[in-house]
A and B are shown apart, each in its own frame.
Chain A
Amino acid sequence: MHLSSLLEIAADAMGDRVAVAACEDGDLTYQGLHGRAAAASRHLMSRGDERLVAVDVNSEAVPVGLFAAALAGIPYVPVNYRLADAQLIAILERAAPGLALVEQSVPTRLGDGIAGLSAISRPEFLSSDGPEPSSPGADDPEDTAVLLFTSGTTGEPKAAVLRHRHPTSYVLETVEFMGAEPEDAALVSVPPYHIAGIAAVLTSVWSGRRLVYLPQFSAESWVDLAATEAITHAMVVPTMLGRILEVLVERNETLPALRHLSYGGGRMPITLVERALEQLPHVGLVNAYGLTETSSTIAVLGPEDHREAIASAEPDVRVRLGSVGRPLPNLEVEIRDLAGVALPPGTHGEIWVRGEQVSGEYVGRGPTISADGWLATNDGGWLDPEGYLFVEGRLDDVIVRGGENLSPGEIEDVLLQHPAVADCAVIGIPDDQWGEAVAAVVVLVDGEDADVTALRAWVAERLRSTRAPEHIEFRTELPYSETGKLLRRVLKGEMRSGSTTP
């Protein structure tokens, strides 16, 4: 299927419903969204643009741009406008040629501009139009729909290719067409250059939900908008959720309209999930696991799973609160060893996935999918006997200490349960004796204190002594990407160049 068909079908079936609320000039209906996207696509086609690049904050220009590009038969390429100038220029040079929808400050930041890239402001883009094209509309599901530069926690960002058939397969398989209740409204605060920002547009449109955009995330503005727009659905990354819960407490706000809060995009500490369940008992929590290369979600831990896990006395059930739930029914997930051989439940290995929404393709690189359709995610994990998937993080992050594989996430979860620990990161650092040693960087709760010996003992008692950090460093904050991914390589670099054990 083609992205343009998603919008056409939705506009035909529910043209009068609100598609995007609280836009610059009021609400945009599904008919209106289709009309505006079609007009902008005529502008793109009349100019002969090869790509629509977006370097902007969140607004109605995200769905308009995404569908305009689809209707014009060209890729939509959202780029992180908050990158440093040099990085932004390097990415835009790769994103060119095409038309770039830019945030106000961008043109001056680009100096002489980027060869092959012309700029258009958001207001200009949203009112753009062109002559009726002579050729029929684009509908090839093999065309590239979206190019996304992966956040690049290691090395140079890769440009992931999603063809129309990938995200549309995800939508058709997992979302009920027109399934939204009339009051349903989704608050989108994840940036448009994140796969979750793209998926939010598509699933909202297909279900007939009202989209509400938060231009740039702050916990205060998120809570404000969620309250005034009576938001029912939202997706946040872990760092956002922690701040949101704090603001809700400060304001004594419970967001009674909110029914569905999903989280993903990075590892969520169990302590934070427990807090959310306690603080928002009327809200169904959903943990979603997915990759850019898989068109968003491939496994979900639903509201019932959360409730069952937290209420259970069975350790095997309770521990599922830290899982990402079960794979979507339209996908296959396997755990495999280094040689690519499938492993039985309960065994740690690499997560592999196969399904129609899986692209695994990058610009300028050979296929990363096996001949029979499997993608190696480079994430470590395991499945329990009931099929719940546990993700342990990037395989590159696994600590190999004296031949034993240690999962940083497991140790982090235990440290976070310590009352004095507000946040922490566990990494492997080079060690002459063990190959790698376990190091922890800990942020303490304001006013609390814990010494190295106590924290080591805390971990050793709950896991094993081999997992107790040999090095512990205290800091006031940890480095995160703005989509909530802990930047371990930054910490690794810093710890390597002078680790200390107080």
Chain B
Amino acid sequence: MGARKEMDLKPGTRWSSQVCDTEVVVVRAPAGAVSLECGGHPMVPVGGDRSPGLALDPSFAAGSLIGKRFADSESGLELLVTKPGEGSLAKDGITIPLKEAKPLPSSD
């Protein structure tokens, strides 16, 4: 599945799954054009229209946990899950791995 339209994955932009409740915010933009997917289908801007008739792809159904970060080392894309859902995140058809975050001590 190729991205029909280039996604503008700027830091701070919010994306929503078309087939589950998952929402993410972009923490780091990818270098170059990529397709961001969840549950096997391209994500859409939060509040944007979902294509009808799509279903969760079982090979991308491991789930997205709230507060977790996912990072693709190849493109540099980093995402934060702000709403949990059944689908898992992928870039150009390949699952994006969870990023182990080392929490910093709070300084404020």
Contact = CB atoms under 8 A, between A and B. Distances in A.
A174 B107 CA distance: 10
A297 B105 CA distance: 11
A288 B104 CA distance: 11
A332 interface: no
B50 interface: no
Contact of A199 (B10, B27, B101, B108): B108
A152 interface: no
Interface string B72-108: 0000000010110000000000000000011111111
B11 A169 contact: yes
Interface size class of B (residues with CB under 8 A): 20 to 34
Given A175-B104, A178-B66, 16 more contacts: A1-B12, A5-B14, A13-B83, A168-B12, A169-B11, A172-B12, A172-B80, A177-B82, A207-B106, A284-B105, A286-B105, A290-B107, A300-B105, A302-B104, A302-B105, A303-B105
B108 A328 contact: no
Interface of A: 1-2, 5, 9, 12-13, 141, 165, 168-169, 172-179, 186, 196, 199-200, 202-204, 207, 233, 235, 260, 262, 264, 284, 286, 288, 290, 296-297, 300, 302-303, 328-329
A216 B18 CA distance: 49
Among B11, B12, B25, B101, the one with the most A-chain Cβ atoms within 10 Å of its Cβ is: B12
A302 B14 CA distance: 32
Contact of A203 (B66, B83, B102, B106): B106
A204 B106 CA distance: 10
Secondary structure dominating the interface of B: loop
A288 B107 contact: yes
Nearest to B102: A329
A372 B66 CA distance: 36
B105 A13 contact: no
B67 interface: yes
Contacts of A328: 104
Given A1-B25, A9-B25, A172-B27, A179 B12 contact: no
A233 B106 contact: yes
Contact of A196 (B66, B102, B108): B108
Contacts of B105: 260, 262, 284, 286, 300, 302-303
Given A5-B25, A177-B67, A260 B106 contact: yes
